Amino acid sequence: MNTPIGGLPAAVLAAHVREGTVTGAAAASAAFERMEAVQAGAGGLNAILHVDREAAAPGPSGKGALAGVPVVVKDNIATRVMPTSCGSRILEGYVSPYEATVIRRLRAAGASIVAKTNMDEFAMGSSTEHSAFGPARNPLDRDRVPGGSSGGSAASVAAGIVRIALGSETGGSVRQPASFCGVVGVKPTYGRVSRYGLVAFASSLDQVGVFGRSVDDAALGLGVIAGADPRDSTSMDHAVPDYRASRDGGSLDGLVVGRPREYFPRSLDPRIAKHCDACLDALRAAGAEVRDVSLPHTDLAIPVYYIVAPAEASSNLARFDGVRYGLRIAGDGLKGMYEATRSHGFGAEVTRRILLGTYVLSAGYYDAYYRKAQEVRALIARDFTSVFASGVHVLFTPTAPTPAFRLGAVSDPYEMYLSDVFTATANLAGVPAMSQPIGMVDGLPVGGQFIAAHFDEAAMFRAAYALEHALGAAGAGSEA
Ligand code: GLN
């Protein structure tokens, strides 16, 4: 074997482990070595919060789809061995008494969960700068953010620590960091993957998502974690197809790709637009038909998301009260203890969301804000239903309006929220979406996004494999 272990696609590594030519322990050591190298020093990535050195101890399966494959997992997914801190002081050092279904499935497939990754506190943010444990950095330019909120997972894949990582999505937290770090990021259909053991932010939007170095790494990872779970009543019992079925490429004959005009506003960076046009040309050349389509309620997604998500968060985060989990700071009586614990335990962005959410749910404002937002959410979802009912199989759009920005450059919360303009729509509608690298702008990667109909991740992967093949390593690395 000539390639170093860390460079092997996950499917190839797993095949080696199954055949006995590589051990899971050697694969984990390679991941730890790379982790130490990129984490070290003042400009270290700070992508990793907790490490499990024992992760490669013989698991239940040396035979599974991910046999011996090291995986890192966002720190809001419950593991029994390492802490689950959600990037927050309020859960610093907290170890869950149970593990998430996705963790159980990864292990059953033979994966080694080697580390937990840095994130914006409670997954609220788009840069990983809101972590209580310091910002993570972008491995392609360490003065820049890796995106967020799953920035540590995206950075871990981009830095070559692992080929597969888990993140979570509420409004774009897998796709946007994937775009910033030049890797693949998938948000499955709402209900495709169990949320059991995913710490709740906004329960009607949250999904576990997957990062891969390549489309195939991501497809392999999703296939392992997808499927109904009796422990999550919002998970759905839909057959899980083989997402890797179209990995050998082939033509896109018969595939209809929609180009939604609202995702290509006049204000879009012309270099990002140019990369997207090149992708659409490549999809056409592969046999797809490209149609101009419209999703007319797109510009309402950010205002709706920033009402619905904080409203649900204000309710979900009420459980962190100093009694049941993590941090407790004494105060004057019970109320004083709540107040001291929550005001020390939560950072500024989480506090802002709780206040915002409490406001939009309070008597007198509920109808004006929360109910109205739910009504508009239904219109956004209907835009997608109609376009897919019209014969379009997948939509293609930019993932984010900009490449990775500099650490500290976005200090206005509203400006940060605008990072999610092209991604929050899929969460509001519950449809699957993914980002993959499509080119470079100013030496930084940018992502292109496919969005598909509910439970049709397979169509999205078919298009993504073909695009990855057409662009090749050189295409995805080309400047506009
Ligand atoms: N950036 C969005 C937010 O801050 C999305 C976060 C997410 O998807 N978890 O809410």
Q: Please spell the DSSP secondary structure of 318-369, one letter per residue.
A: GG-SSSSSS-----SHHHHHHHHHHHHHS-HHHHHHHHHHHHHHSTTTIIII
Separation between Cα atoms, residue 335 and residue 333, nearest integer Å? 6
Is there a cis peptide before residue 88, judged by omega within 30 degrees of 0?
A: no
pLDDT at 60 over 60: no
Task: Return all residues near 54 (Cβ < 8 A) that are at least 6 apart.
Answer: 81
pLDDT band at 165 (very low <50, low <70, confident <90, very high): very high
Q: What is the pTM of this model?
A: 0.97
Give the CA-trace dihedral at 180, 184, 190, 193, to 10 degrees.
Answer: -130
* Residue with the two structure tokens 């035979």: 63
Instruction: Confirm or reject: Cβ of 173 under 6 Å from ligand 1.
Output: yes
For ligand 1, the distance from its centroid to the CA atom of residue 415, given in whole angstroms, is 13
CA distance 170 to 183: 19
Site to substitute for ligand 1 among 76, 126, 130, 190, most atoms within 8 A of C-beta: 126
Structure confidence by residue, pLDDT tens digits, 442-464: 999 999 999 999 999 999 999 99
Helix 301-316 with 348-361: angle, nearest 10 deg? 100
Q: Which residue has the higher pLDDT, 478 or 93?
A: 93
Handedness of CA 252, 254, 255, 256 (dihedral sign): positive
Name which residue sits closest to atom 5 of ligand 1, judged by CA: 171
- Residue-wise pLDDT for 353-389, tens only, equals 999 999 999 999 999 999 999 999 999 999 999 999 9
* pLDDT grade for 164, boundaries at 50, 70 and 90: very high
User: Is 60 exceeded by the pLDDT of residue 473?
Assistant: no
Whether the CB of 86 sits within 6 Å of ligand 1: no
- Per-residue tokens: 273: 């637009």
Tell me which of 149, 214, 314, 435 is the catalytic residue. Answer: 149
With a 6 A CB cut-off, is 76 part of the ligand 1 pocket?
Answer: no
Q: What are the angstrom distances between the C-alpha of 83 and each of 69, 171, 195, 356, 385?
A: 21, 25, 18, 29, 40
> Is the pLDDT confidence value at 217 over 70?
yes
User: Which of 420, 425, 435 is the pocket-test mutation for ligand 1 (most atoms within 8 Å of CB)?
Assistant: 420
Which amino acid is located at 379 in the chain? Answer: L
For ligand 1, is residue 167 a contact (CB within 6 Å)? Answer: no
Taking 70 as the threshold, does the pLDDT of residue 2 lie above it?
A: no
Catalytic member of 153, 173, 179, 235: 173
What is the C-alpha to C-alpha distance for residues 311 and 245, in angstroms, rounded to an integer?
Answer: 40
Is 294 a catalytic site residue?
no
For residues 411-436, average pLDDT: 96
The mean per-residue pLDDT over the stretch 466-479 comes to 80
Choice from 76, 117, 121, 124 to test ligand 1 binding pocket (greatest atom count within 8 A of CB): 124
Query: How confident is the model at residue 90, as a pLDDT?
Result: 98
Atom of ligand 1 nearest to the CA of 201: 9
pLDDT surpassing 70 at residue 50: yes
> Using DSSP, how many helices (H) and how many strands (E) does the chain show?
14, 11
Contacts of 251 (CB under 8 A, 6+ apart): 286, 287, 466
pLDDT in tens, 194-213: 999 999 999 999 999 999 99
What average pLDDT does the structure give for the chain? 96
The size of the chain, in residues, is 480
Check if 124 has its Cβ closer than 6 Å to any atom of ligand 1.
yes
Q: Which residue has the tokens 């999904």?
A: 207
Cα dihedral 299→304→310→314 (10° resolution): 180
| Tens-digit pLDDT profile for residues 261-303 | 999 999 999 999 999 999 999 999 999 999 999 999 999 999 9
Catalytic-residue membership of 179: no
On the 0-12 / 13-18 / 19+ scale of CB atoms within 10 A, 228 is middle
Listed residue (223, 154, 231, 148) closest to 192, CA to CA: 223
Average pLDDT over residues 179-197: 98
Average pLDDT over residues 58-78: 88
Q: Is the CB of 149 under 6 A from ligand 1?
A: yes
Element (H, E) at 117: strand 112-117
Q: What is the secondary structure of 72-84 as a DSSP string?
A: EEETTB--SSS--
Q: What is the pLDDT of residue 475?
A: 60
Tell whether the model's pLDDT for residue 147 goes beyond 60.
Answer: yes
Residue type, 340: A
Cα–Cα distance measured from residue 220 to residue 239, given in angstroms and rounded to the nearest whole number: 16
Give me the mean pLDDT over the 335-343 stretch.
96
Paired with 293 in beta bridges are 260
Above 60 in pLDDT, residue 469? Answer: yes
Distance CA(318)–CA(328), nearest Å, equals 14
pLDDT band at 433 (very low <50, low <70, confident <90, very high): very high
Cβ 423 under 6 angstroms from ligand 1? no
CA of 127 to the centre of ligand 1 (A): 10
